[in-house]
Structure 1
């Protein structure tokens, strides 16, 4: 409880020091993570509980010029932020790492030009110490903003025009797409199409490159249905487009599991059996992959680890520690299930 006669007053470091029988400096060392003897620490922790002391973070931030916050910027429409399990897993992985370091994560969604301007002002205003960027596009304005502000940053993914001085964590989208397309080809499929989303980003463009590389001379650009988002409804639209272009299609590589799930629904509506008539593979190994019937063959993308690694890259910059400035690529094994 607060000291006698001070029930309406906020407890201070002086109150803690008096209750613990130590100096104010000793209390400050405990609060700021410094070393004190185990006996003094135990007394101070007991005193903090007794007087109800809560550290004044705002005052500490004025002294340290740190907010103890890191921005998590998602450059996707609001609906995709809520529905895409990969974004959720990346966010939770980043939050766990930041929380362990006593940093607060601030979520910022960029869905329009106005959002870009608002978030740019926010990042320039010192409200966060660093920033994690997810789903940046080639020539994205946020890249230019980061260069101007000079804030510690890390990207999840690797926009093709990213400044080499800004670190990233990602996966080999091209190689992974090539491998799973080759695995699909090995099942005997002859007319294979692709539902390709977000080709203005490294993930979408690189997956198309991998698909093209796997097919080689068999690649038919008319069998690539481009859609804007990694979204179930766009997967359905992409599959309808492919069936219109090539009714004899017998294999589909969808650029994400959500797209593949939409494709499966359209194939069922068309009276086609998966995998007997059409083999389907996805990408991500997200929750979508095990909700479908049959379950999806896919590429496992370690979304939570991507977020955790990106957060670690930002924290290392804040601490002045060495970090992988050229970027980090995480492994992406194939997970083979019943859809192909």
Structure 2
């Protein structure tokens, strides 16, 4: 068997927070790699035993590792930026990221390295979920596999060009980074050969949490201006749709209080608008499944408050331009 060229330094990074139920399996998948990472860096913000389990597992291997507390920045974007700044200590060529509560196949890093040796023109290799069978290029962030931080390998020169992640994004840092990649002209390839498997069952309330914490289109419009409005108008339309829902709701409350004779008309408008928004969202996704109807409902209910919070953060100067 021809051994791969080991000249490139490959670093693996992971962000963790209260993952004690699944982190052992994630670490086992890292320890079992046929091509070990040269270093492992873990940025942890846990209040449970997660970092102890990580150390216990990685000490069973010969892989150099560091588990450090997330302190400099907050949120998801901050954790990833702390990883990026920390890996500078070892001057890597390739930065692989695996999400907590995910596990990779034993040949994950080996397949990435072998592919990159034959195809050095790519800037990023993204891994799908292991229940997908893909092997293709990705050309736009509108492709969900263009940037999937659950399993991704990045040429560090691309990372340096972009400057890492915007720590202002508590959530939504993945979309912002994908936009930065796209604007930098990154070439991306995705393949099931370096997929990842989610270890937990996703709780039903995960959609509410994600949508309620979504930064909405506000910070992206702030950062990218009219370019973003042209690039991703659908998000802006959905955001405005949720704002109008709250306007209609306010009007309905005022009618009930001061002009009850118009209640039937306003309730009809309220109902038609709400149903239309939900159906329109589902039709756009073109996936007529129950969870997509729930997601559309949560978009209607939670997007406007999220937009208000994002606007406040913009005013406070939280996001980088």
Same fold (TM over 0.5): no
The TM-score with structure 1 as length reference comes to: 0.25
TM-score (norm 2): 0.26
Larger Rg belongs to: 1
